[in-house]
Amino acid sequence: MKKVLRFLGRIKKDTAFAMLLVVLNQLLGLVLPLMMSMIINNGISNGDLDYIKRVGFYMILVAAATVGVASLSSYFTSKAATGYGRILREEIFLKVETLSQSDIDRIGTPSLITRCTNDVKVMQDFMLQMLRMIISTPVMLLGGTVMAVFLNAKLALVIFAVLPVIALVAFLVFKLVLPLFRKRQRMVDGLNRFLREKLSGIRVIRAFNKEEYEDARFDEKNEALSALVLRLQRLMATLIPVGIVLVVIALDALIYIATKNIDAMTDPVKIQNTVGDLQAFVIYMIMIVLAIGMAAAMFIIVPRANISAKRICEVLDLEPQIKDPAVPKTIDETRRGEIVFENVTFGYLDAQQPILSNITFTAEAGKTTAIIGGTGSGKSSLVSLIPRFYDVKAGRVLFGGVDVRELSQEDLHRRIGFVAQRANLFSGTIEENLRYGDENATDEKLRRAVEISQSKGFIDELPDGLQSFVSQNVTNLSGGQKQRLSIARALVRDADVYIFDDSFSALDFVTDAKLRAALKKEISSTVIIVAQRVGTILNADKILVLDCGKIVGEGTHNELLESCEIYREIVASQLSKEALQ
């Protein structure tokens, strides 16, 4: 909790002002019952109308001040809590940006989303309650007790008799609720993970008529979460009736004791004063009981916030597995664009077997190296090691003669144009997406990238051209159009190496051929292509054949036809398709 609360220092002015107003509001509230007692004791008992009017006027002023201070207090506590939530979201977002893909895989995307939304909301609510309740509770409790003892020490004993009972109830609820809150957060993560999976696979679900099956799975998880939340609410709701019963018992005892005292009195003035003190005392007692009830409620709010704080700290304190070296090196410019794999072995987190084993090859600068192989052979994993999305388990990957682990990630990524297997575009205009590759790119550079990627045709047909809007999730573009724009975005960057991870799969054969021809003619950088279709890599300077994470063939198309059985099988399986070119 302390690690998360340290961010309060960035809003210390709002927080301090909010705390000051909360304290001032409670102090003003303590004055009003005393003034009411003064009117009854000194005004009504003596029939002094001027005294009643004078003190009554001061009461109106104090009440007005209380309303004003309460309004300002509400404003600044809300402002401080909202600012705190904004800071937490920003810190989590900035931290996630520094994490490697393996770090993100370790926590899980759905859990990261939950921590950035639900857990931050819990902490924001806690901050709001802390300013309003944790600060005001001691003032109400201590101030009300002092005023009650000041008025009548004997009657104050009733309050101290109730305190242990309320404390015991709060402790029991705390012991029962805390484990349930931890379980609730885990179940929310699981439900978010299920929803994300279902929404991303909605087409598959409908295609196989699995709506009822998935609905049943969702109902099971949703009902389990709902049952847990209901159980939590029932436990928390027990505080309300218990508190009311304790207040009623305390009031009955208070009135009973006061009545006995009044019956024993014979002096009318003392009786009148006792009645006035009793009315003020009842208000102070209610304030004390409310403070105790608020303190009991904090036994629930604090553990819940503590769980969310720990989950947030798990992200903020996570040490990235991939870090920049203390003293980054620079590449050998004479070997610019050269990629070398030396005895590379790689496996994902908690994987029992490595995905890649003893991979050794060289992608020569300025030439095209293609990678082909069956599904699960490790093609995408291999190219992910070049920009250090993951780090090797053994061996090393050299970029321009330097181990990628000895380069700064900023320098490394600046030299690479990467097109992922899945085309990812962002909501905004086409031009904004293209400038993601280079925000300072000239219009000529954008035009060249669009032409090479074969995107010019469909962009010109759009009403607003490059200013046409890309909708959220890119539902207004086809798969092939998204791939071509992703390729154009990478080409906008003047990179030493371009990596195309199966990024031609959604293109028809004619567009594929035109794009490859344009790349060969216009791009002098190193090109690495991962492909499923043989036609995409026929003219590559070097082709690597992967099978079960190992290189089983290396050479040109004609050389592999003679030397690699697996490559011949791949070519034979696609002959009829390639004939359509």
Token pair recorded at residue 183: 């379980």
pLDDT over threshold 70, residue 504: yes
**What is the mean pLDDT of the segment spanning 74-89?**
90
Q: Is 233 a member of any domain?
A: yes
Token pair recorded at residue 532: 């499923």
Do 442 and 384 share a structural domain?
A: no
For every residue of 480-549, DSSP letters joined together read HHHHHHHHHHHHHS--SEEEEESTTTTS-HHHHHHHHHHHHHH--SEEEEE-S-HHHHTT-SEEEEEETT
Cα 130 to Cα 80: distance, rounded to the nearest angstrom: 11
pLDDT of residue 173: 65
Do 515 and 485 share a structural domain?
A: no
- Tell me: the pLDDT tens digits for 161-209? 766 766 676 666 667 776 777 788 778 777 877 887 787 778 788 877 8
What three-state secondary structure class fits 453? coil
Where does the pLDDT of residue 577 fall: very low under 50, low under 70, confident under 90, or very high at 90 and above? very low
Backbone angles phi, psi at 37, to 5 degrees: -65, -40
**72-86, 126-140, 280-294, 367-381, range with the lowest pLDDT:** 280-294
Do 574 and 489 share a structural domain?
A: no
Q: Is 330 a member of any domain?
A: no
pLDDT of residue 243: 62
pLDDT of residue 497: 94
The secondary structure of residue 440, as a DSSP letter, is T
Task: Of 3, 266, 296, give the one whose Cα is nearest residue 141.
Answer: 296
pLDDT over threshold 70, residue 266: no
Q: What is the 3-state secondary structure (H, E, C) of 255-296?
A: HHHHHHHHHCCCCHHHHHHHHHHHHHHHHHHHHHHHHHHHHH
Q: Is 324 a member of any domain?
A: no
Q: Is 535 a member of any domain?
A: yes
pLDDT of residue 360: 94
- Tell me: the pLDDT tens digits for 335-350? 999 999 999 999 887 7
Q: Is 333 a member of any domain?
A: no
pLDDT of residue 469: 86
Helix (H) or strand (E) holding 339: strand 339-346
- Tell me: the pLDDT tens digits for 100-121? 887 888 888 877 888 888 889 9
Q: Is 76 a member of any domain?
A: yes
Do 490 and 465 share a structural domain?
A: yes
Do 393 and 295 share a structural domain?
A: no
Q: Which of 494, 525, 558 is the last residue of a domain?
A: 494
Do 41 and 118 share a structural domain?
A: yes
Do 199 and 93 share a structural domain?
A: yes
Task: Of 27, 30, 40, give the one whose Cα is nearest residue 147.
Answer: 30
Q: Which of 474, 494, 514 is the last residue of a domain?
A: 494
pLDDT of residue 45: 64
Q: Which domain holds residue 518?
A: 338-415+500-581
- Tell me: the pLDDT tens digits for 521-573? 888 899 999 988 888 888 899 999 999 899 999 999 989 988 899 998 888 88
Do 566 and 488 share a structural domain?
A: no
Do 468 and 387 share a structural domain?
A: no
Percent of the chain at pLDDT above 70?
87
Do 395 and 371 share a structural domain?
A: yes
Do 78 and 175 share a structural domain?
A: yes
How, if at all, do strands 542-547 and 394-399 pair? unpaired
pLDDT over threshold 80, residue 456: yes
pLDDT of residue 166: 64
Specify the CATH number for the domain of residue 85: 1.20.1560.10
Do 426 and 376 share a structural domain?
A: no
Q: Which of 448, 470, 494 is the last residue of a domain?
A: 494
| CB of 382 closer than 8 Å to CB of 339 | no
Cα 555 to Cα 362: distance, rounded to the nearest angstrom: 11
Specify the CATH number for the domain of residue 530: 3.40.50.300
How many structural domains does the chain have?
A: 3
pLDDT over threshold 70, residue 474: no
Task: Of 468, 459, 522, 526, give the one whose Cα is nearest residue 497.
Answer: 526
pTM here?
0.69
pLDDT over threshold 50, residue 580: no
**What is the mean pLDDT of the segment spanning 358-381?**
91
Q: Is 189 a member of any domain?
A: yes
Q: Is 325 a member of any domain?
A: no
pLDDT of residue 449: 92
pLDDT over threshold 70, residue 247: no
pLDDT over threshold 70, residue 263: no
